[in-house]
Structure formats: structure tokens, C-alpha cells
Chains A and B, each alone.
Chain A
Amino acid sequence: MKVIYKDLINLLSEKPSKELLSAKLFQLGHEHEINDGVFNMELTPNRGDCLSLNGLARDLNIFFNNSEAFEIYEDDFDTLNINFKNSSPKDCPKISFLEVEIEENVTDYKPYLKNYFKNIGGNKTNFFTDISNYISYELGQPTHCFDAETLDGDLIFENKECNCSFKTLLGSKIRLEGKNCVFSIGKEIVSLAGVMGGASTACSPNTKKVLVECAYFNPESIIGKSIKYNLTSDAAHKFERGVDVECHEKVLRRFAKVVQDHTTIKSIKFKSFVSKESKDLFIPLDHNKVNKVLGTNLDKAEYINYLQNLGFEVSKNIKVPSYRSDIKTQNDLAEEIARVIGYDNIESSPISLEKIYEDNENNKVAIIETILIKNGFSEVINFPFTSKNEKESIKIDNPLDSNRENLRTSLKDSLVENLLFNERRQKDSIKLFEISDIYTKDIEIKQQKKLGIIISGRLGRNFNEFSKKLDYDYLDHILNSNLETKAFEIHEISRNTLDTKKKDKIFYVEIHINNIPDIFFKNLKVNKNTINFINYKPVSEYPSSTRDFSFSISNLNNFNEVIKSLDEVSDEIIKDSFLFDFYKNNKTGTVKLGYRFIFQSHIKTLSDEEINLKVDEVLEEILELDGVSIPGM
């Protein structure tokens, strides 16, 4: 909600600067951003009462003294003779109507109305609708304007099953489905109650006789409708959060006054329909209770002063104002008091929890994680949504899209996808795992903690493992030597159906963690992870390039020097480097080293020239050593 700074301080006797006003709004819990002279408020959903100039000024009263300055229409209203029937008082316990007829159409607005539209109100539509929007900004109560001449028959409010199209006053056509609160005349729906009026009865710049509807709708009757029908509605936003059930006459008198400010009123009639009188809510006066909730030491006089300044009437009990539907209990009052004191001004009071519990036991998951990480596996976390619908799948009723309308019944597909993703990024030795609860359903919903492991590619990158492949035996050995259990079955995943040209075999295993007998964990302990919050470096989005070099060392005295120099290579565009081959040639008495460099830049795709230049720079010193060469280079 946008509020003009000048409009707000108009309602305050003291005129705080923008900075001071901002600080106090924060203290009260009203987040906002300031753009020039406009405060863009982000109010919490319980504070519907603050969705107006008047509401914010009321809440700020304790700091800056709210001097209400709204002029209203003072004369008596005639009684409106209207054929209205409320068929669903549960959804609308109170509704009022004002019928106004004017002499002349109005096009020229007074400065306050002009400024509102200039600064935040957006496009003007017609005189009466513009006033309705303006009044909602001032007082927080939405109203709807019917062109009275278009209403032909009895007006009925009802909550009814709909299956029809409806054209809104903004011209969009929507299809009403299911139960909706509507106003209708005969069979025609003329307004989607609390959300938006219809086109057929909307006011126009030529309207001279308006019927203003001002209602309290039950928030539960309105909620979700504007989103369901994709309608942006300030009215719905307010009704969903609860409006002041007692404000109708004041709001309509203010409406009439704004009309009167602009033109001569020919006739003005009013009628209110109350199906259920709202009851005042009283809370016992108990400052000790508030101190007990907050841990403060307020005396009774301070307590009463705070509450009165917030609009509560204090006598033997505390009467909650009709606009504060969020206040019901002593704890609610405690929050009110805490807001005006300022949360940051409440002294903290030391607390230490009694040691009620034993230390958490080592759990299976932590042990499995430790084993896998020591063996070079990386953990992934995947979203559980999939398009795959299986017999045991749990279906999402309202998925983000059809590709995500089922919960996965296995970790396999996610891990295969993770593997292919990394292969596309030039990874040639991939070992991943995921541990997650999996939910399925036959008769009842079943929860299983599963471990999924996938491997493919080179066994490792050191010279002993570089040319070997990750395979069944590798995985079987890790699982067996650590868990000594046969509660799993490793299988190969065929690449035939996968979108990939790679040839390396893929092996996968999925294990129910709870099926692993506790005994296998008996002798395994893990240390509590001591975390090291490293400073993460953003991952490059540019492709990497690989260069392999085969060194021949005939002067063995320089062997250690070569190894040391290669290990010390470090450069911005060298992402990684390692020894992948080591071979002693007894015939020639030389040592062969295979060394791999992986180049990648964070800012661009590297050209061959750039890489070659870097290679020359890195190798220069090494190749100057006696008896060290790269055959063929």
C-alpha cells in the first residue's frame, strides 16, 4: 500500500520528518520503503486496520498525536427505499447503501483528489469510482459504486454456485466457478462481492445517480477469489484482512462530503442492513499479566496510558476497538505494549536451558555420510517433484506445472540427471549420493529414508587410477567393507534411453537406510562435524579446456624438481592440474610423467592462443632443466 508522506503528517499534530516517521513505523512493525514523498508499506496480514491513511495515523497516535481531520457530510440523510435482500448474512453481517444524485457531472477535481491520482491513484475512471478509491485510501473501507439508473429489479446478496461468465467493470471477462459471494439482479450477476463490480452496472462519466454499497464481508468468504480469477483488487486485499464493521455511516458521510465539495447534491438517501450486531470485545485489565509475558516492570498507569493511546477504552475492563479484529487475548495486548515501548527497548533477561536431554546419539545417516565423503563422494539435494506417475506416487493437487505433479518414489532419476549434468560440464569421474525421505502410498502414506549412490567414469585422477573405471566391484567393495550388509543391490543403468554420447558404464544403488541392521553401525563413530565456512568462489559458466603433457626425464637428479614445480603451478585461468601418469622405463633409464592442466576463465571462453601462451609460460622453467623434455614438443 502506498501512502503519501504529506497526507499522513496532515493527520498528525506533530509533524515528524520522513526519517523519524520511518523509524517509528519500523518500531511499530510496519515495514516500508520510501520513494520520494511516498511510503510503500508492507504490512503484516493481521494489520488490515492499518491499510489506510487513517489507520496508520491511528497507530502513530502515541508518538505524534493523531488529530483526525476528515470533514464529513453533516446534514441528515433521507431514508433510502431499496429492494435489497441479504440471502447469506453469514458472509455479510452488515451492509449499508447510500444513493446520491447530483446536478451536474464533475470533471474538475479539487487539489486533494487531484494529488491523490497524480501521486498514487493511477488512472482516473469516473467521478464516483474515483471517490470510492480515494475514500478507501483515506479510511480503509472499500465501497462499490453502481450506476443507480442501470439497476432494474431487486438487488440480492448471495453465496451461490456459479458457472457463468462475468464481465468486470475493467472490461475483462472471467468465468465464475464454484461458490462465490455475488450481488445479483434477477439472474444476472452484477458484482463479485468484495472483489470487483460488473460492467453492466458500472458508473460512467455521465452517471448522475449513484448507489454506493458499503459492506463488511467475512474475510473467509472473500479470501482466494482475486487470485483464483486473476483480478488485482485493493478491495479484496482489505476485506481478506478484515475491515471495521462499525465504520459504514462515517465512510458514507465522508463519501457524501467529497461529492459535496465538487457539485450540488440533488438528493441523498441512506439505509443500513444489519443481520447480526457485532459484539464489543472486552479483555480484563491486568498489567501484571502483560509484565509476565514481556518480562517488564510496567506500572498500571503506564500500561493504561499506552492502551488508551492505541485507541483502547479502559475502565474496569479493556474494550477493544471495532477496527482491531486482531486483538483477542492478553498476549495480543502484550504485543501492543511491546510495540509502543519498542522491542529494542525491552531489556533482555538471562536464560539458560536446563540440560534436560542426553546428547544426541550418533545416527546412521551421519555415519554413512562420513564413509562416503572419505571415499570421494559428493552429496546432492534434489527437489522431489517429477512428471513420472507410478502406482505408488503421491500426487500434488496443485502442482507448479505438469512436470512436477508427482512426488518421486525413488532417488534414481534425480541422480541420473545430476550425473548427466556434470558430464556435460566435462566431469569424467563422478561419484554422487543423496539421502532423502521418500514418500509413497498404497493404502497409507509410507515414509522411507533412502540412500541413492551413482557412479560413472574414471576411478580416480591419480596415476594408479586414472585409466581404470568406476565399476560394480568398486561400489560393492565400499559398501561391503563398511556396512557388511547385503541389504542392497547394485545395478547398471543403461545409457540407451539417456540423452548422452558418453560410453562409461553407470552403476547405481538405492538402500533403505532403516533396513540396515543397527549392528553394522555398532563400531562406527563419527565426530561431530566441525564446519569450516569457506569463502565460496562462484562457479564459472564458461567451458573448460584440457591439456595433457607427457614429460620425459632422463636426468633423474631433476625428478623431484619437476614434481615440485608442477605441483606449485597456480594461475587464475588454471582451474586444476594433476599427475595422471607415472612410468619408469627401465630400458632407457628414464621416467615418464603424464600431467593434466584444466583451463577455465570466469569471464570468457578461452581461445587456443591464450591457453598456449599460458602453457609456454608455465612450462618454460621446467623444460630448461637438464634432461627434461616433452617428446614431440
Chain B
Amino acid sequence: MSNLDNIRPPIITREDGSLHPINQTKEYLINLLAEMGFKEVHGPEIETEQFNFDMLNIKKSHPARQMHDTFYADSKKNVLRTHTSPVQIRSMLSDKPPMAFTSAGKVYRKDDDATHLPMFHQIEGIYVSEDITFANLKDLIYQILHKLFGGDVQIRFRPSYFPFTEPSAEVDILSNNGKWLEILGCGVINPIVLENCNIDSIKYSGLAFGLGVERIAMLKYGVDDIREFYKSNLDFLKQF
């Protein structure tokens, strides 16, 4: 018969906490791009119109600049950045080609409905060097999407419009249910933007791309509702 002295208390277990799934996805994407040679850069979330719009060739008449799309702050002296692109502008201004940057972080749009939030996360990359072409951009996007979704994923490029790239493309992947899903925007950096950053656009060209971090997280984890990420529900957070 066992003696009480021989009874060992069960092992004490403690649960790990969890990094927020959006930050996990963001870190994953940053590392993926860092391994390809992109340097991570940072910039402020409160930006001037000059960096958020003008330098990126987004004209005064562009719908994105309207009060119903962009949060203006501090008596209209600033905006909450609407994308991470101004970080690229700041980085290009302080460096020389060849250069490759990635910037990730919070961005803001004046939206709030079932599928849009006033704050979300983006990650972008740019590469500026000599003789960069649209064909190179395609190769780079294939590399990224193959790493993200496997080598068999079907990819489609469509013409689109971003003032800071020309030509511009949106890229879709074929999902398991047979539907095309928009996954990223990209393009050849508009020479006007390079010139704005004091880069000789005859000698140098570049490519740029951007992804929504929530979108990637939703696809990779199978989360259907973007709002789940921001309820701060421990039953949700502890799963990741």
C-alpha cells in the first residue's frame, strides 16, 4: 500500500500568455521580408499632408484626401497617416540607392462598419535600384506569395490605380473555395515620387508593394470577422 509520503504533488503548470495575432502576423511578415533583404524602418503615425499625400503624388483632388476618408488632427495641421507609405518617403530621403525598406504599423481611415475599422495595420516594401522593371516586380511578388501561401498558390495580376506607382497592380490569389481574393497592391514606383525624394529617375527605378496585415491574419488563422481582433477577449487572444 502506498504511503502518503510517496504521493508526489502533480506538476505545477502555468499557461503562457500570447502575443496579439496581428502583431504575430506583422512580425512574421517583417521577418519574411528581412530575410529577402529589406530593412525595417519606422515613422510617426501622425503625419503631415506633405508626407502622407503630396510627396506620394496624391493630388489635392484625390478622393482619399477628403475629410470623409482621412482623419485630420490638430486643427488640420496634420493627418493620422492613411498608409505606411510616408515612412518609405522619409527613408528614401535619408538614404541612397540601392535601397530596400519595409515599414509596418498602424494606419487610420475614417471608416467604421462590418468590414472596415478606423485603425488597421499595413506592411509595405520598396526597392530602388538600377533597371528595376515590372517583370522584376512580378517575380518578387511571386516569391513573397509563395512563401506566404505555398508554391502551388495561383496568382493573378490586375491593373489598378495608386498615385505613387505606375504601372499599378492588384494581386489576387485563388482561395480554396474557388474565389479570387485580393491580397496586395503593388507597382513600379512612379518616377515623380522618386524625383520628389531627390532620386534620379532616369538612372534609378523601383518597385513597391503593400499588404493589409489583418487580411493576411484572417486568411492564415481562419478568422472571419475583422472585429474579433480588437475585442480583447482572452478566449480569443489565448488561442494564438
- A contact set with B: CB distance below 8 Å: 26-29, 31, 44-47, 219-220, 223-224, 227, 240, 292-296, 329, 331-332, 334-335, 338-339, 343-344, 346-357, 359-360, 366, 369, 372-385, 394-400, 404, 407, 417-418, 421-422, 425, 427, 430-432, 437, 439, 441, 445, 447, 460-464, 528-529, 531, 533-540, 556-557, 559, 563, 579, 582, 584, 586, 589, 591
Contact = CB atoms under 8 A, between A and B. Distances in A.
Contacts of A579: 10
A395 B131 CA distance: 45
B160 A44 contact: yes
Contact of A378 (B18, B28, B62, B76): B18
A528 B35 CA distance: 12
B197 to A, nearest CB: 16
In this complex, the interface size class of chain B, counting residues with CB under 8 Å from chain A, is 35 or more
Contacts of B98: 353-354, 356
A44 B64 CA distance: 12
B58 to A, nearest CB: 11
A586 B36 CA distance: 64
Interface of B: 1-4, 6-7, 9-10, 12-25, 27-28, 30-31, 34, 36-40, 44-46, 59-63, 66-68, 71-76, 78, 80, 98-100, 110, 112, 117-119, 127, 129, 131-136, 138-140, 142, 156-161, 166-169, 188, 190-192, 205, 220-224, 228-240
A248 B170 CA distance: 35
A348 B239 contact: no
A219 B159 CA distance: 23
B7 A379 contact: no
A177 to B, nearest CB: 14
Given A373-B18, A445-B46, A398 B23 contact: no
A397 B127 CA distance: 35
Contacts of B60: 220
A591 B189 CA distance: 72
Given A376-B15, A377-B17, A418-B232, 12 more contacts: A27-B158, A329-B191, A334-B166, A348-B139, A352-B36, A353-B38, A374-B17, A396-B73, A427-B234, A447-B46, A536-B21, A559-B2
Contacts of B100: 353, 356-357
Nearest to A436: B106
Contacts of B117: 383
Contact of A397 (B14, B25, B76): B76
A400 B135 contact: no
Interface centre among A352, A366, A379 (most CB of B within 10 A): A379
Interface centre among A240, A293, A407, A422 (most CB of B within 10 A): A293
Given A343-B158, A356-B39, A591-B7, A338 B131 contact: no
Contact of A380 (B20, B25, B74, B239): B20
A227 B136 CA distance: 40
Contact of B23 (A47, A379, A535, A586): A379
A417 B239 CA distance: 21
Given A381-B229, A382-B232, A394 B46 contact: yes
Contacts of A535: 221-222
Nearest to B119: A383
A346 to B, nearest CB: 6
B10 A582 contact: yes
Contacts of B237: 378-380
Contacts of A539: 228, 233, 235-236
10 contacts: A294-B133, A334-B167, A346-B134, A351-B132, A354-B129, A397-B67, A398-B71, A421-B233, A531-B24, A556-B1
B235 A431 contact: no
Contact of A463 (B9, B28, B134, B234): B9
Contacts of A344: 156-157
A58 to B, nearest CB: 16
B217 to A, nearest CB: 9
